[in-house]
Amino acid sequence: MKSKAFTNTLKELEYYTTRSIMIKGYDLERIKGFLEHLGNPQERLEFIHIGGTSGKGSTTTYTSSILTGLGYKVGSFLSPHIESVCERINIDNKQISEDNFNTYFNKVKTAHDQFFPKDKQGITLTYFEFLLAMALLYFVDNKVDVVALEVGLGGKLDPTNVVQASIAIITSVGLDHTEFLGETIEEIISDKVQIVKQNATCITGVKQASALKIIKSYCMDQSANCLILGKDMSINQNIIDINGSKGFFSFKDYEFEVNLPQLGRHQLENASLAITAAISWQEKMNRKVDIKAIINALSQTIIKGRLQIVENNPLIIGDVAHNEDKMKALVDSINQIQGLKKLIFIVGFKAGRDKDRAHRALKQLSVLKIPLKKIFISEFLTKQDIEIASVPAQEIANMILDVLPDVETEIVKEPLKALKLARKEANKDDLIVISGSFYLLASLSEALSL
């Protein structure tokens, strides 16, 4: 239960950031100026910067877990959150307390009031920038050794790109946020790759040849080392079942088995990027790599909302797949689970300018090998950094009719009611999947004890 002080802080945070706007021609000068006013906390920290279309949140968590297991004090900054905004700011994978959140909000608030003119509406910090400033101060005060920093959106103009990271990870690239980043894979990766700094190490799981060409060219211009999954490191002999994922990792002279509680081949790939970053970090620190510590850390890392088993009777998986690539990874993982008879989906997608994103994601369900019994379509309306609404349920129903004309659908706008109906429909060997958005899963967090 939220304390009264924390509830008041959240209201103040909303008040402060609701006035802010993403002005046309946005650049990083606003956040840079404010951080300079704070004493440039980012200059007193070491960073591993993680971007990409899919997998960056998981990779950030894996990176933090491994480095914590290796004995470092590790900050991590993630977005969005599922249940509490405190999930975004962590040290050693433990989220900031409500009391500390209040404290660092007030520090940034005081500096904010000093820095921004009171009569200049809109030229203030965004919600994301406000939390980033809080996190940086929190990490400096707690003397963390390194920060695993997840990009919010894109790369070039993301507020996190004020940092100078010695290691950058680009997990993948796909057609997402095209209204901001460009209409093609090549345009999008050209934006994302700009988190790679001079003389840094770039680690990537990107597969498309045209995108890799851009990454390698940019790294060459930056005199940055480029390590590519499938070439410089690998994860093979993958086994996926209801208990998790297993694979054999290889990089340089390091070879060992990886076991994850998380389902999915893509999670093994994300973990491989994190392992490579951790080994590279250890080598930079001139420290011996403890393989047992890495294996142990990964075996205990649970990531909310990523192919997460939230109930066993009936079996319910929550996954925040909201685009084509993430839904493809979800479907691939489900197809490898043995013993399932039928599937029931609960879906809801965030509205946005990219009208086709939900359609492209839903199309991936056509390659499910297990019979799809029914899809419940829900809606949500919530607020984190901005007010977030779902695509109207009828529009999703029309998309499903187009790509899956033989699958039964039912519009149940209230997610909790949809969950109750899905539980009622599910038999012993069926699987309920909740997917489409962070915000859909967030609306069910209490009911599912996430």
Q: What is the CATH number of the domain that holds 416?
A: 3.90.190.20
340 and 401 in a single domain? The answer is yes
137-192 pLDDT, tens digit each: 999 999 999 999 999 988 899 999 999 999 999 998 877 665 666 678 899 999 99
Q: Tell me: the pLDDT tens digits for 236-265?
A: 988 888 888 999 999 999 999 999 998 888
Domain that holds residue 343: 308-448
Q: Looking at the structure, do residues 371 and 230 belong to the same domain, yes or no?
A: no
Name the band, by pLDDT with cuts 50, 70 and 90, for residue 420.
Answer: very high
Number of domains in the chain: 2
Q: Nearest to residue 80, comparing CAs of 329, 361, 439?
A: 439
Of 267, 282, 299, the residue at which a domain comes to its end is: 299
* d(C-alpha 450, C-alpha 442), whole Å: 9
Q: Are residues 295 and 353 in the same domain?
A: no
CA gap 367, 380 in Å, rounded: 27
- Which one has a higher pLDDT value, 396 or 21? 396
Report pLDDT for 382: 75
Kindly state whether residues 315 and 295 are assigned to the same domain: no
Q: Of the residues 269, 299, 329, which one is the last residue of a structural domain? A: 299
In this structure, the answer to whether residues 55 and 150 fall within a common structural domain is yes
- Grouping H, G, I as helix, E, B as strand and the rest as coil, residue 283 is helix
Residues 132 and 176 in one domain: yes
Q: What are phi and psi of 374, to 5 degrees?
A: -165, 150
Same domain, residue pair 72 and 126: yes
What is the Cα–Cα distance from 123 to 65, expressed in whole angstroms?
Answer: 37
Same domain, 224 and 78: yes
Cβ atoms of residues 442 and 82 within 8 Å: yes
C-alpha to C-alpha distance for 165 and 46, rounded to whole angstroms: 7
Whether pLDDT at 119 is above 80: no
What sign does the CA torsion over 89, 95, 101, 107 have? negative
Which of residues 274, 299, 324 is at a domain's end?
299
Residues 195 and 120 in one domain: yes
Query: Are residue 282 and residue 313 in the same domain, yes or no?
Result: no
Q: How far is it, in rounded angstroms, from Cα 211 to Cα 218? A: 11
Is the domain of 56 the same as that of 103?
yes
Average pLDDT in the 382-386 region?
65
Q: For residue 268, what are its two tokens?
A: 């093994």
258 and 326 part of one domain? no
The DSSP line for 50-102 is EE-SSSHHHHHHHHHHHHHHTT--EEEE--S-SS-GGGGEEETTEEPPHHHHH
Query: Letter for the amino acid at 434?
Result: I
What are φ and ψ of residue 146, in 5° steps?
Answer: -160, 155
CA distance 241 to 405: 30
Residues 197-214, buried b or exposed e (16+ Cβ, 10 A)?
A: beebbbbbbbeeeebbeb
Q: What is the pTM of this model?
A: 0.89
Q: Do 322 and 316 touch, CB atoms closer than 8 A?
A: no
Q: What is the CATH number of the domain that holds 120?
A: 3.40.1190.10
Give the distance from CA 187 to its chain's centroid: 21
